[in-house]
Amino acid sequence: MNEEPPNPTTPRPVSVESRNGAREEEASSISRRLGIPMRGGKKIEPGEIRLVLLEDRIEVWDSTSRRKGARVDFSGIDVRTGSGNLSRQQPLARAISGRSDRRLGTPLSVIDATAGFGHDAFMLACMGHDVIAVEREPLVHLLLEDSHTRAVADPELGPALGGRLRVVHGESTTKLLDLDPVDVIYLDPMFDLSKRSSALPKKRAQLLRALVSEGSGDRELFHIALSRARKRVVVKRASGDPPLMPTPDLQVPGKIARYDIYLPGSSI
When binding is defined by CB under 6 A, the residue of 15, 31, 172, 206 that contacts ligand SAM is: 172
User: Sign of dihedral through CA atoms 218, 222, 223, 229?
Assistant: positive
When binding is defined by CB under 6 A, the residue of 39, 50, 94, 119 that contacts ligand SAM is: 119
Quick one: 30 or 200, whose CB is closer to ligand SAM? 200
Asked if 133 is part of the footprint of ligand SAM (rule: CB under 6 A), the reply reads: no
When binding is defined by CB under 6 A, the residue of 137, 146, 183, 260 that contacts ligand SAM is: 137
When binding is defined by CB under 6 A, the residue of 129, 136, 209, 258 that contacts ligand SAM is: 136
Quick one: 16 or 210, whose CB is closer to ligand SAM? 210
Asked if 185 is part of the footprint of ligand SAM (rule: CB under 6 A), the reply reads: no
When binding is defined by CB under 6 A, the residue of 11, 91, 98, 189 that contacts ligand SAM is: 189
Closest-CB residue for ligand SAM? 116
When binding is defined by CB under 6 A, the residue of 36, 58, 127, 134 that contacts ligand SAM is: 134
Q: State which of positions 198-257 bind ligand SAM (CB under 6 A).
A: 200, 208, 212, 215, 217, 221
CB 116 within 8 A of CB 140: yes
Asked if 116 is part of the footprint of ligand SAM (rule: CB under 6 A), the reply reads: yes
Quick one: 44 or 139, whose CB is closer to ligand SAM? 139
Per-residue string for binding with ligand SAM, 64-103, x by CB under 6 A?
----------------------------------------
CB 113 to ligand SAM: min, Å: 6
Other Cβ atoms closer than 10 A to 64: 11
Other Cβ atoms closer than 10 A to 31: 18
Alpha-carbon torsion angle 193, 95, 173, 242, nearest 10: -40
Asked if 190 is part of the footprint of ligand SAM (rule: CB under 6 A), the reply reads: yes
Of the candidates 140, 138, 194, the one whose C-alpha atom is nearest the C-alpha of residue 9 is: 194
When binding is defined by CB under 6 A, the residue of 135, 146, 183, 260 that contacts ligand SAM is: 135
Residues in contact with ligand SAM by CB under 6 A are 113-114, 116-120, 134-137, 140, 171-173, 188-191, 200, 208, 212, 215, 217, 221
